[in-house]
């Protein structure tokens, strides 16, 4: 959803920057590793310590720039299977850092309330769901099935969780924080279910054709 449109816009915006990086001999894998390192550092040093909207702004910029490595790889002709593997692995580390930091912030910085309790529960489920989504796709790909179906992409989940957390940090409504995590948990579990059912259907169709 958001991710599809974002990638198209990012490709247009970041192509000149990718050309500059290529001239400076910066590789796509360097960009991937650097962006993930920044995400983990900001999540742990800023978001987890209670500076929610500040971290949200910084992470939003990094997230928008997440397409730079792919744009650079295509422009420089350095696309590779290892690059795809590294990018996927680094994304998992970044996701874990962001949602882990949101959970830590809920535990230590939100006032005791039903909203806080809900945020902690939803955050825990969200972390499990966020990890399970790419795992389901990876296991399907081992079987030769591209299970990329789902109601929410990685970008959608991160943006909604961070925006909702920032809205609560701005004292707009205390329920925004848990609602964002509830949506991520729900969307992740639905996406996992969709991928399981899609993979099951493809396997059964293949078995029937043999």
Give yes or no for residue 48 having a pLDDT over 60: yes
* Confidence (pLDDT) at 7: 62
CB 191 within 8 Å of CB 134:
no
Stretch 4-13: mean pLDDT: 67
Q: Which of 66, 91, 156, 169 is catalytic?
A: 91
List the domain boundaries for the chain: 2-208
Is 0.85 surpassed by the pTM of this model? yes
- Tokens 């795809």, located at residue: 84
Of 32-41, 77-86, 130-139, 191-200, the range with the lowest mean pLDDT is: 77-86
Q: Which residue has the higher pLDDT, 147 or 10?
A: 147
State pLDDT tens for residues 79-108. Answer: 889 998 999 999 999 999 999 999 999 999
Greatest mean pLDDT among 73-87, 149-163, 186-200: 186-200
Identify the pLDDT of residue 69: 85
Q: Reply yes or no on whether the pLDDT at 3 is more than 60.
A: no
Query: Distance between terminal CA atoms of the chain?
Result: 36
Q: What is the CATH number of domain 2-208?
A: 1.20.120.1760
**pLDDT single digits (tens) 156-165:** 899 999 999 9
Q: How far apart are CA 21 and CA 83, in angstroms?
A: 16
CA pair distance 103, 123, nearest whole angstrom: 6
**pLDDT greater than 60 at residue 1:** no
Q: pLDDT digit string (tens) for 123-137?
A: 999 999 999 999 999
91 is catalytic: yes
- The predicted model gives 18-37 an average pLDDT of 91
At 150, give phi and psi (nearest 5°). Answer: 150, 155
């Amino acid at each position: 959803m958001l991710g599809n449109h974002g990638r198209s816009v990012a490709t247009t915006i970041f192509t000149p920057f990718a050309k500059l990086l290529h001239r400076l001999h910066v590789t796509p894998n360097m960009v991937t590793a650097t962006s993930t390192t920044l995400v983990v550092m900001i999540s742990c040093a800023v978001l987890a310590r209670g500076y929610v909207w500040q971290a949200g702004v910084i992470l939003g910029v990094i997230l928008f720039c997440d397409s730079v490595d792919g744009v650079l790889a295509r422009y420089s002709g350095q696309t590779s299977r290892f690059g795809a593997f590294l990018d996927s692995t680094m994304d998992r580390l970044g996701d874990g850092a962001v949602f882990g930091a949101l959970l830590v912030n809920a535990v230590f910085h939100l006032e005791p309330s039903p909203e806080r309790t809900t945020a902690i529960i939803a955050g825990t489920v969200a972390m499990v769901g966020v990890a399970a989504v790419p795992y389901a796709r990876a296991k399907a790909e081992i079987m030769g099935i591209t299970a990329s179906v789902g109601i929410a992409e990685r970008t959608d989940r991160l943006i909604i969780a961070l925006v909702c957390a920032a809205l609560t940090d701005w004292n707009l409504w205390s329920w925004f924080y848990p609602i964002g995590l509830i949506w991520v948990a729900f969307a992740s579990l639905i996406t996992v279910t969709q991928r399981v059912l899609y993979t099951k259907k493809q396997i059964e169709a293949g078995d029937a054709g043999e």
